[in-house]
């Protein structure tokens, strides 16, 4: 089987960085991906909101350099996460990122503060899920 997803979108909020009990960094964020579809009277925008999870050094880089409104290219695999809440089964699809490329642009330019503007943003970081 083949499971590969590539999406480009704008972050809907700043990445949330946390650490597993073993000390592995994990970042979660959501991207908005808008596509145009031709309809009877022109074009119509359709926006998908996609959750992304990224691990390791790449997670720390995402937390440091990405912010709400920034554009990113996310490459990875789809995963369904299931859980139970209030006696009901719940699930959602998310991308487990193998690589995240920072594309700049977006509404978040300059909103990350002066400390980030002087730093060099890494080209690309790839690190597979640690387990």
- pLDDT over 90 (residue 108): no
pLDDT > 80? residue 131? no
With 70 as the cut, is the pLDDT of residue 102 above it? Answer: yes
Q: What is the pLDDT of residues 37-94, one digit of tens each?
A: 888 888 889 999 999 999 999 999 999 999 999 999 999 999 999 999 999 999 999 9
Could you tell me the fold of the domain covering 5-37+44-109?
OB fold (Dihydrolipoamide Acetyltransferase, E2P) (2.40.50)
Question: Nearest Cα to 15, choosing from 62, 75, 54, 79?
Answer: 62
CA distances from 114 to 17, 63, 104, 110, 118 (A): 21, 16, 16, 8, 7
- pLDDT higher than threshold 90 for residue 106: no
Give percent of the chain with pLDDT exceeding 70.
Answer: 79
- 127, 85 contact by CB (below 8 A): no
Domain layout of the chain by residue ranges: 5-37+44-109
User: What is the chain's mean pLDDT, rounded?
Assistant: 84
Residue 114 pLDDT greater than 60, yes or no: no
Q: What is the pLDDT of residue 120?
A: 47
CA dist., res. 100 & res. 58, Å (int): 8
Cα 58 to Cα 29: distance, rounded to the nearest angstrom: 13
pLDDT of residue 129: 45
**Has this prediction a pTM greater than 0.85?**
no
The pLDDT of residue 105 is 57
**Residue among 115, 104, 98 nearest 67 (CA):** 104
pLDDT for residue 24: 97
pLDDT confidence of residue 117: 38
């Amino acid at each position: 089987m083949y499971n590969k997803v590539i999406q480009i979108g704008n972050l809907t909020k700043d990445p949330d960085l946390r650490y597993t009990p073993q000390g592995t960094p994990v970042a979660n964020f959501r991207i908005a991906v808008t596509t145009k579809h031709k309809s009877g009277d022109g074009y119509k925008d359709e926006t998908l909101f996609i959750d992304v999870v990224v691990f390791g050094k790449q997670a720390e880089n995402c937390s440091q350099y990405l912010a709400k409104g920034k554009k990113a290219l996310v490459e990875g695999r789809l995963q369904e996460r299931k859980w139970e809440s209030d006696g009901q089964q719940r699930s959602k699809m998310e991308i487990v990122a193998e690589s995240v490329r920072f594309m700049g642009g977006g509404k978040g330019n300059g909103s990350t503060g002066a400390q980030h503007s002087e730093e060099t943003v890494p080209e690309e970081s790839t690190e597979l899920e640690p387990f």
